[in-house]
Chain A
Amino acid sequence: MITGVPVQYFLILATLMFFAGVYGFLTRRNLITMLMATELILNSVNINFMAFNRYLYPQKMEGMFFSLFVIAVAASEAAVAIAIIINIYRRFATINVEDVNQMKF
């Protein structure tokens, strides 16, 4: 626990980061930048878990392990997403989401 810093500061920080990610996800049209916005969102949730664990339940470790597993899921998600992006680029020569509309009915 950091003296002089209440838990609300961490939560507000994570909220601002989360909604920066949401804004990026809504406005970006490039697949890689959308992936970066997703990483921002996942990372802000991790900050929340760690702060809750340290401030509200300092005797337990659930929050830490949860964010450990979130990091693992984020890593595998990034690997698969980048494989798909490279495949899309090879086939369409672009990674702009508006140009990739072969499956659109």
Chain B
Amino acid sequence: MFVLFSVMIIVFSILTVTTRKILRAATYLLLVLVSTSGLYFMLNYQFMAAVQLTLYAGGIVVLIIFSILLTSHISQKFEPVGIKKTIFSGLAAIAGAILSIVTILDYQFSANTEAAKEVDMKLIGRSLLSVDYDGYVLPFEVISILLLAAMIAAIIVAKKGGPSNTKTPTYN
């Protein structure tokens, strides 16, 4: 099962960055995110898998597909990347991957064999709002402010027109 998920993740990640049709890239990205959530289920993190499915696969991919539909022609293909750029970017990526994998295989991880903690919803909710030693109330508040600011900023930026740029000439 792990092999299936990881092969899906690797193949579809590479297809995401190499396909020449933009909507296909979005679909492959969706498949990558769904298989990642499958990995989280296998690791027994049900809450995180659900968040991954709803927020990433549900929210972000839908947002990306909507913006693709707003800004591109579906049938349009990208022009192929230059051979020089492909070679150099591929070399950089492969060299980085090999370096990281060699380092990972070199390091002796001492896997902890004690019984895993059962992470259920009640525990997550308590920890997110607790001020004790294991509490995360400060990062929770910070992330709330960040999300609010991002939403307001997105609305302001994408709002059509406005007093300042109603008469702005369209370049190009």
Judged by DSSP, the binding face of A is helix
Q: Give the CA-CA distance A26 to B18 in the complex, in Å.
A: 11
Contact of B78 among A30, A35, A43, A72 (CB under 8 A): A30
Contact of B17 among A32, A40, A69 (CB under 8 A): A40
* CB neighbors of B among A1-40 (8 A): 1-2, 5-13, 15-24, 26-30, 32-33, 35-37, 39-40
Contact of B64 among A58, A76, A78 (CB under 8 A): A78
Instruction: Give chain A nearest CB distance to B22 CB in angstroms.
Output: 6
Contact: B127 with A65, CB < 8 Å?
yes
Contact of A76 among B89, B97, B146 (CB under 8 A): B146
Whether A40 contacts B29 in the complex (CB less than 8 A), given A30-B22, A58-B114, A80-B157, comes out as yes
- The chain A residue sitting closest to B71, CB to CB, is A89
Q: Give the CA-CA distance A90 to B44 in the complex, in Å.
A: 45
Q: Give the CA-CA distance A7 to B72 in the complex, in Å.
A: 41
Contact residues on A (Cβ < 8 Å of other chain), bracket: 35 or more
Contact: A23 with B93, CB < 8 Å?
yes
Contact: A20 with B16, CB < 8 Å?
yes
Q: Is A75 in contact with chain B by the CB < 8 A criterion?
A: yes
Q: Give the CA-CA distance A78 to B67 in the complex, in Å.
A: 11
A74 CB contacts on chain B under 8 angstroms:
56, 60
What are 15 pairs between A and B in contact, CB < 8 Å?
Answer: A2-B2, A2-B43, A8-B104, A19-B97, A24-B18, A36-B16, A40-B29, A58-B116, A64-B124, A76-B147, A78-B63, A82-B64, A83-B153, A93-B170, A93-B172
